[in-house]
Amino acid sequence: MAGGGEIDDIHETATATTAAPLLEKVYWEGCPGCAAEKRKEENPGIPYLQFFRIWIIILVSCLPITFIYPFLYFMIRDLHVAKTVEDIGFYGGFVGASYMLGRALTSTVWGMVADRIGRKPVILFGIFSTVVFNTLFGLSTHYWMAITTRFFVGSLNGLLGPIRAYTIEICRDEHQAIGMSLDSTAWAMGLIIGSVIGGYLAQPAEKYPELFPDNSLFQSLQLCCSYKLHMVPGVSVMVYQTFIYPYIERILGPINTSRVATVLSMVLLFTYPPMTHLSRPWLQIVSIVTCTYILQNNSVTQDQRGTANGLATTIMSFFKAFAPAGAGIVFSWAQKRQHAFFFPGDQMVFFMLFVVEFIGLVWTFKPFLAMPEQFSSKSSS
């Protein structure tokens, strides 16, 4: 029979064994995922430097989308492709949609490539292609050249999916809301900077005749910016995403935050017809968008995040490519029923938007949305 000392030694050994982790973390050399996890363990704080780099990259990716719309009308006019003034919007819609169409066709592929060879090569190639084809777009002298170059800007720009996956991978769980809010913040800055660039660098021959004579290249490639009001929602979204959203997400979780923002957007949409001067619901929209970024990254494993974000970008780009045409059809149809009994005129447009928001709200509940157990503590329904 064992003595008292031996029993104490056995008890201490059993206690130490129980307290020790069953599986110790092992970081393999040459493994990018292991290096990222080790970096997060060694630096539990917010990775400000990495966040700043990501913010700059997302801004570069957003600028090709935002800077074109202020001067698109005048660009189509100067290309002389529209026979009448009323046709300018028709031709301009195809130029605007060509970017999203190209991105919709290739985003999933870029996400799969990022999972296979890494995030950084895809990001670097996307930045390089954006510089090249954006320059060619600015030099367009024919309508089809403008459409083609915009299409290649979108199809070769595989930044968004990999950069969102990379954002999740470099920060700890408690900092995910801050990291993913960088996307909306960079988008807001893109609205501001894009509007400024479009306003001050377009039509230089008319604004600065002493620097650019009539027979110069800038005279034949003149563009104009007239929608500087993009700066107003841009500033509001930037402030909200940077200082307010991370705290709301930390309290409510991504799913509940998205639900609250969706309900607020639904209510606000119904106020549009009687309150035509009401500001746009930018803050609610960016809450929904940012929450979906967090959800789609947490719903898959690390080796699938690039593909998941690429697929999400594909679907988003597809609807952004065809939404202008669909919205134009719905709006034209609504104008023909100004005296209808059920939601006459513009009210039908906002009613259909309300239905879309409601469907999105329903899909945040089970069984449509299922989160992994480690992420479902704050987001459970």
More confident site: 41 or 127: 127
* pLDDT the model gives residue 1: 47
Based on the structure, what is the number of domains in the chain? 1
**CATH number for 201:** 1.20.1250
pLDDT at 305: 59
**Which of these ranges, 34-38, 77-81, 350-354, has the smallest mean pLDDT?**
34-38
Average pLDDT over residues 217-241: 51
Would you say 255 and 369 are in contact if contact means Cβ atoms under 8 Å apart?
yes
Do the domain assignments include residue 214? yes
Average pLDDT over residues 320-335: 66
Residue 375, sorted as left (phi over 0), alpha (psi -120 to 50) or beta, turns out to be: alpha
Alpha-carbon separation of residue 275 from 102, 174, 271, 347, 358 (angstroms): 37, 39, 6, 11, 21
Q: For residue 223, what pLDDT is reported?
A: 45
**Residue 30, helix vs strand vs coil:** coil
In a domain, 264, yes or no: no
Domain coverage including residue 232: 28-252+283-314
User: Do residues 154 and 99 lie in contact, with contact meaning Cβ atoms separated by under 8 Å?
Assistant: yes
With respect to residue 341, please indicate whether it lies within any of the assigned structural domains.
no
In a domain, 162, yes or no: yes
Neighbours of 79 (CB within 10 A): 19
Portion of the chain with pLDDT greater than 90, in percent: 2
Distance from the Cα of residue 193 to its chain's centroid: 17
The answer as to whether 130 is a domain residue is yes
Distance, CA of 181 to CA of 51 (rounded, Å): 10
Question: Does residue 225 register a pLDDT over 50?
Answer: no
Q: How confident is the model at residue 152 (pLDDT cuts 50, 70, 90)?
A: very high
Inform me whether the pLDDT recorded for 153 exceeds 70: yes
Provide the pLDDT for residue 370: 58
Q: Among 87-96, 293-302, 353-362, whose mean pLDDT is lowest? A: 293-302
Work out the end-to-end distance of the chain between its first and last CA atoms, rounded to an integer number of angstroms. 56
Whether 9 is in a domain gets the answer no
Q: Is residue 272 part of a domain?
A: no
Q: What is the DSSP string of 239-298?
A: HIIIIIHHHHHHHH-HHHHHHHHHHHHHHHHHTTTT-TTPPP-HHHHHHHHHHHHHHHHH
pLDDT band at 97 (very low <50, low <70, confident <90, very high): confident
Residue 236, in any domain of the structure: yes
Residue-level pLDDT at 378: 46
List Cα–Cα distances, 307 to 33, 73, 291, in angstroms.
Answer: 16, 36, 18
Q: How far is CA 154 from CA 29, 101, 217, 314, in A?
A: 36, 7, 26, 11
